[in-house]
Structure 1
Amino acid sequence: MPQDHSEAPDVPTATWIIDALEGRLARVELEDGETVDLSLSSLPPGAREGDVLRVFEDGGDFTLEIDHAETARRRAGAQAQLDALNQAAPAGEIDL
C-alpha cells in the first residue's frame, strides 16, 4: 500500500482503527467490525495502537493516513469513561 497521499483523492473512502501491533503485523478493525492483519510496513510512519486511519482509494491502490484529531477525540472519550468508572470504585482495599 503506497503512503504518498499526493495522488489520492481528498475524501477518505473508509475509516479503520489500529487494534493491535504484534510482531510485523497490525490488526486493524474495519468499519463493519471485521478485523484484518496488515503488514506494519503498510502503515503510516509512527502509527500505534488506537490510531484512527483514513483510507483513500485511487484506482485500486490504497493510501492510509493517521487522523490525529479523531484519534485524540476518541482517546479523550475513552479516558473520560475510565475516569467515570474509577470515581464510582470503592476507596481503599477490597476484601474478597
Structure 2
Amino acid sequence: TYLVFFDWDRADLTARAREIIAEAAQNARRVQTTRIEVAGHADRSGPAAYNQRLSERRAEAVAAELVRNGISRNEIVVQAFGETRPLVPTADGVREPQNRRVEIVLR
C-alpha cells in the first residue's frame, strides 16, 4: 500500500506524490500486479458532497499519473470515499492532513 497526501482543498500532485506514484508503478510491474486499487479520501473540513467530489479528483489525478508511468488504465480500479473513511478520526469541520490522501493498493 502506498499513501499519497494532498494539501488542503487541493487535488494536484506534489513532487513527492509523483515520486511515490512512480515507485508504486515500478513495483506493480516488478511483481506483476493484476489490479491496482486507487482510493481517494478527504478530511472533514468541508461539506460531505464537496469532499466526495474532491476525493474523486484526487483519485483520478493519481490514476492518471500511474498511466503516465506506464500502467494500463484497465488495470486500475478507482474509488472515492470522501470523508467516510478517515485515517485519523476527527470531528466534523476539522482539517486533518493525514485524511487528505489517496491509497494505492497493489493486488
TM score, norm. by length of structure 2: 0.25
Bigger proportion of residues as strand: 1
**Higher-Rg member (1/2):** 1
Bigger proportion of residues as helix: 2
TM score, norm. by length of structure 1: 0.28
